[in-house]
Structure 1
């Protein structure tokens, strides 16, 4: 008998539940099934391109279901003379082809590599955010996204892992020549913690949710992958080490004026 069945049996008999019981935990199988409708493919739409949708990364629905969180580096930069071009997301529909929707950029916080989009159409099921203070090293997680984009079809793929380390992202540089635009932006934003994961992510996973494997709450956002050699080896010989932005930054993003 598993823990949930045992607790249910105690309740049915009128027994007092132990103080540590807390809310029922869903487990990875249920978390994956429940979360998939909230995960979208983010890219650009140009009527003159073939294909017209160009995939850039992953996003997920939050708040009222019309808001999507992703990485800032996933949001496409469209030329001003691109007639009819716009940011777009592909929404998964069970048993049907993905639905293409127009998206507008509400916030772009490059120092934290986060973006907030608003999508047209009916609200999507949303992913709940975890309490930042409750996240610790060693917790089991599920990554969800589109690791190879259209090569595997636009159905979210899941990977299991855990939070290996919570470590500051801002590192000192040896000299001023090593300061680039991204490094300066991070300094201005201030140092913040980032999650190191022992799970394999690929470029298309960028912007996807890192979910608590038991509750399905969002713990972070996939941001980058550690590459052992050239960029090509990220696919042929992945390091198995990925990084995620903490959910605290997502909460801050949602509090910004829109």
Structure 2
């Protein structure tokens, strides 16, 4: 794990200060649904291709996150005292639309991509509930965050995600039943991709916690995705799998610029 001496501080346009790597804790639930690869190709930047699960078929992950802690402490930087400023944001809710992708693969064959390139997730859309969290994501990593009416409810048997509609978007509702088998302690590294100022950025996330995985939709899982979002990504609404974790921790590192030649 990174030591305190290796951390760097960043002040956001909102006046909040955060330390990188950013420490997070949260509850999360999500589903993975199949999608048409031709449609996914229209939203991916150069250098990334959607992960193929069958000929012509990729997938999309829809994830709700209820943050418990964002950074070390919660507060706003004191004027003229950056060195002693508290570092963190108030907790917020988030809904993520993420396209599993491969970078550097020379093939589109299912499974063969896994051995031929680097697997990660391209963050396509990320509505959140607070303006500081919008600034955090956009200013540091280029995450496509926007303020929206998002509610993530961690219930006894399911996690529920709702994104209210507005003049341009229809509402979204996602109910994810807890997987049948209990959670297992996991420790893994994920790569996310975004575009920032026209450049492709890769970000490492170290994730730890008890997470349960399930196959299929199961009773109690429901997906009411907006038709516009479903049409844009060519999404089928029957989940391939789902995941859930009530107390997950993550460390999100600074992004790394990726050149077109990889």
TM-score computed with the length of structure 2 as normaliser:
0.24
More RCO (CA 8 Å, sep 6+): 2
Higher helix share: 1
Greater Cα radius of gyration, structure 1 or 2: 1
Higher strand share: 2
TM-score computed with the length of structure 1 as normaliser:
0.24
